[in-house]
Copies of this chain bind each other. A is one copy, B any other.
């Protein structure tokens, strides 16, 4: 295969069954978000380059696809537009653009492609779909809880049964640092190490904490308190600090407001950190057996919309890792191919065949007509078989004279003669039986 014939590095051609499977998943999620009163938003594939300027970190900025100026400016080699890197920067711009014309709070979902010039790898694409919900303009704990509910319902609607939320709070994490007397300058690296408690053995995390400058005793008691299932010891420690108490209160409020979800679905995880440092309040992550890492995440990020150039509004949101979920479901499941309901062979009387096909389509049946050049029935039956047709219709000279059609069921091989006018009703019965 010539390289020029492949899609660009890190991108995919989505053929029939892929498109259908993805569309079904996206529609399913959209329907859930609609029930929560989230509104859809679609922004352009690209934004003015200045919309990104200084908004993303250095690492992210390097991954932006930039679009060359056009016309006489093309030769300058300069760019003025950039492909969407995520749905958050466009959201901040939209909130700034439309302001009070948007509902308040503004609850929106975005399910669509984003582009990142990442090094392509297994499961990592340069064009992939992100699925976000966000509520801008509410500081209510009910908004945080609603995001958790909506993400929960979204995952359940995708067919996931065994998953749970780990929740924590940025404030509780700061309280943790206070309670265990971690020096301020060690805060970020210590949280970074604690975030590995789900991957590394506790002793390895202790070693890393000590390497980063924490006294051994503090490192050991911190890890011992966080590693267990029991959160009581950590709670007691947090209760002794002001930030810890406020953080715990945030976590407990979120647990109370999501108590209506199935038991055990939402759990306090005092050592869960979330890498992104723009979170300011409650944070969550969803884990599921069989899925490495997390399949959804989110939290409150009150300063971010302003930092991204929008108005200074509180906000919270969540993101479902729909590409990751689809990839794992695909690897597990049997790929389903959508075939034809009815294949019409063409043995003369083409006008009548087209008319009949039109009637069948009018009844919602997926109907194909043989478009090849062969007049041989065997060849046409092979085509019908390739199309996974459930039923094949034969309307040859015999049938034409009798005003009938031969209906062949491809699974059973059974053949029935049906009066031409009766065929649509007959097939509707036969195929929905």
Q: A residues touching B (Cβ–Cβ < 8 Å)?
A: 1, 4-8, 11-16, 18-20, 23, 32, 34-37, 39-48, 50-51, 62, 65-68, 70-71, 74-79, 81, 83, 93-94, 96-98, 102-105, 107-108, 113, 115, 117, 127, 135, 138-143, 145-146, 149, 153, 256-261, 309, 338, 340, 346, 350-351, 353-355, 357-358, 361, 364-373, 383, 386-387
Contacts and interface: CB of A to CB of B under 8 A. Distances in A.
Given A66-B74, A369-B146, A372-B138, A387 B37 contact: yes
A301 to B, nearest CB: 16
B105 A44 contact: no
B258 A354 contact: yes
A142 B51 contact: no
Nearest to A150: B361
Given A46-B8, A146-B371, A257-B354, A19 B36 contact: no
Contacts of A260: 351, 354-355, 358
A351 B77 contact: no
A12 B139 contact: no
Contacts of A258: 354
Contacts of A146: 354, 357, 369, 371
A51 B139 CA distance: 50
Given A14-B40, A16-B40, A260-B354, 11 more contacts: A11-B46, A14-B42, A15-B102, A19-B41, A35-B361, A35-B364, A35-B367, A103-B387, A146-B354, A149-B361, A261-B358
